[in-house]
């Protein structure tokens, strides 16, 4: 098999040589992101012209980009979310889109709990104070016996729930497709969204971004939360209305927030950066050595399966007809 592959994620192959070796052994010519950062639409248009497949980060795979990829057969997401890919156009063109579900579930779930703890115990505020020469002992809250509301019970949501249960927390869940068998087994409870946000001490988001989930939490939902509640978002920034969140944090509608994702990344100029009751990280949920290894190997396996004419194990647009594009390489 001879194929030209564009690799855009910065961490791909950095700590694990296996994914690059898999591509080499398959006879692929690899083009690595020359910019060392997330690509713009114009940059992708320039790079995608003669490639057969892409190991894709969060770069924008718009219709315009794919129109310039006349040989493109597979977009293999190095991660789970595919909101940066125009799935409708990819499907119409016969381009297979895959992802790596489960590869980073533990990493994101662990960061969720870490952010929850950091916000609850004022870890970052205390750190900043000490560095500024102040010795102030902040009073936080224990998580044992508190209630966490998990919105979205895919693999990451479930792992987060199970970690919380291990901390002796109570777990409420909400999902458009409830897994009641799992909930009964672990001791979680499904409730409607209004009940979840009003009863939870911590609300944690684990749903994919779509038009249906955009601003899923806005002024109305934030107003229903406890004044002592903390919002944690390790999913996608657009799920939360950041303007409404800022107002809620300033007015004391809720006590705090912990965010790994933002509506615009990086969040340059966001007023959220000015607040002490917000813990911020730079979309690092999937950035552990273990998750990067899992994602890299799975992404390459998906890519090669598609290029060889098979059906990848983690095909997102399952209705795609690869015959609409050129034959397998």
User: In 37-179, where does DSSP find H-type helix?
Assistant: 41-47, 63-68, 87-93, 105-120, 123-131, 155-166
Residues 19 and 129 occupy one common structural domain = no
Residues 110 and 153 occupy one common structural domain = yes
Residues 293 and 149 occupy one common structural domain = no
- Structural domain contains residue 329: no
| Spatial separation of the C-alpha atoms in residues 219 and 241, rounded to whole Å | 8
Mean pLDDT of the chain: 96
Q: Which pLDDT value is given to residue 19?
A: 96
Residues 152 and 268 occupy one common structural domain = yes
Residues 240 and 133 occupy one common structural domain = yes
- Structural domain contains residue 298: yes
Average pLDDT for 189-195: 99
- Structural domain contains residue 50: yes
Q: Which of 77, 221, 236, 242 is catalytic?
A: 236
| Spatial separation of the C-alpha atoms in residues 38 and 61, rounded to whole Å | 12
Q: Which pLDDT value is given to residue 325?
A: 65
Q: Is 329's pLDDT higher than 50? A: no
Q: pLDDT tens digits for 28-71? A: 999 999 999 999 999 999 999 999 999 999 999 999 999 999 99
Average pLDDT for 298-306: 98
Q: pLDDT tens digits for 98-147? A: 999 999 999 999 999 999 999 999 999 999 999 999 999 999 999 999 99
- Structural domain contains residue 176: yes
Helices (H) and strands (E) in the chain, counts: 12, 12
Contacts of 120-127 with CB under 8 Å at 24 or more apart are: 120/202, 120/230, 123/279, 124/279, 125/276, 125/277
Active site (annotated) includes residue 236: yes
Q: Which pLDDT value is given to residue 323?
A: 77
Of residues 10 and 255, more confidently modeled: 255
Q: Which pLDDT value is given to residue 2?
A: 84
- Structural domain contains residue 14: yes
Residues 197 and 130 occupy one common structural domain = yes
Evaluate whether 279 touches 115 at the Cβ level (below 8 Å). yes
Instruction: For residue 10, give the DSSP letter.
Output: T
CA angle 73, 77, 78 (to 5 degrees): 135
Q: Is 271's pLDDT higher than 70? A: yes
Measured CA distances, 70 to 49, 67, 140, 234 (Å): 7, 6, 56, 35
Residues 164 and 249 occupy one common structural domain = yes
Q: pLDDT tens digits for 199-222? A: 999 999 999 999 999 999 999 999
Evaluate whether 229 touches 141 at the Cβ level (below 8 Å). no
Instruction: For residue 168, give the DSSP letter.
Output: T
- Structural domain contains residue 233: yes
Quickly state the pLDDT bin for 321 (edges 50, 70, 90).
Answer: confident
Q: How many domains does the chain have?
A: 2
Cα–chain center distance at 74: 21
CA angle 238, 98, 14 (to 5 degrees): 85
Residues 176 and 207 occupy one common structural domain = yes
Q: Which of 10, 283, 287, 297 is catalytic?
A: 283
Q: pLDDT tens digits for 11-21? A: 898 889 999 99
User: What CATH number has the domain bearing residue 304?
Assistant: 3.40.50.720
Active site (annotated) includes residue 162: no
Residue 130, domain extent? 105-280
Residues 90 and 151 occupy one common structural domain = no
Residues 216 and 246 occupy one common structural domain = yes
Residues 8 and 95 occupy one common structural domain = yes
Residues 265 and 146 occupy one common structural domain = yes
SS3 85: strand
Q: Which pLDDT value is given to residue 327?
A: 40
Q: Which of 265, 290, 297, 319 is catalytic?
A: 265
Average pLDDT for 298-303: 98
Q: Which pLDDT value is given to residue 328?
A: 40
Active site (annotated) includes residue 265: yes
- Structural domain contains residue 270: yes
- Structural domain contains residue 151: yes
């Amino acid at each position: 098999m001879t194929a030209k592959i564009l690799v855009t994620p910065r961490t791909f192959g950095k700590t694990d040589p296996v994914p690059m070796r898999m591509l080499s052994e398959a006879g692929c010519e690899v083009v690595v992101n020359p910019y060392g950062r997330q690509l713009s639409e114009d940059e992708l248009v320039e790079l995608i012209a003669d490639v057969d497949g892409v190991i894709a980060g969060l770069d924008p795979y718009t219709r315009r980009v794919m129109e310039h990829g006349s040989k493109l057969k597979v977009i293999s997401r190095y991660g789970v979310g595919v909101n940066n890919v125009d799935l409708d156009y990819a499907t119409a063109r016969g381009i297979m889109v895959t992802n790596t579900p489960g590869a980073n579930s533990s990493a994101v779930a662990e960061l969720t709990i870490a952010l929850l703890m950091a916000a609850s115990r004022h870890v970052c505020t205390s750190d900043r104070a000490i560095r500024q020469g102040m010795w102030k002992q902040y009073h936080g809250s224990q998580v044992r016996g508190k209630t966490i509301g998990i919105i979205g019970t895919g693999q990451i949501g479930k792992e987060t729930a199970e970690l919380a249960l291990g901390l002796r927390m109570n777990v409420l869940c909400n999902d458009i497709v409830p897994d009641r068998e799992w909930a009964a087994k672990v001791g979680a409870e499904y409730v409607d969204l209004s009940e979840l946000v009003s009863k939870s001490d911590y609300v944690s988001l684990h749903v994919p971004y779509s038009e249906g989930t955009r601003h899923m939490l806005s002024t109305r939902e934030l107003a229903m939360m406890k004044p002592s509640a903390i919002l944690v978002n390790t999913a996608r920034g657009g799920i939360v209305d950041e303007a409404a969140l800022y107002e809620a944090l300033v007015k004391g509608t809720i006590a705090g927030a912990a965010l790994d994702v933002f509506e615009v990344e990086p969040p340059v100029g966001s007023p959220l950066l000015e607040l002490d009751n917000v813990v911020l990280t730079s979309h690092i949920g999937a950035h552990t050595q273990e998750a990067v290894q899992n994602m890299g190997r799975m992404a390459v396996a998906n890519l090669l399966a598609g290029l060889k004419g098979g059906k990848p194990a983690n095909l997102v647009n399952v209705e795609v007809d690869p015959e609409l594009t050129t034959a397998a390489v």
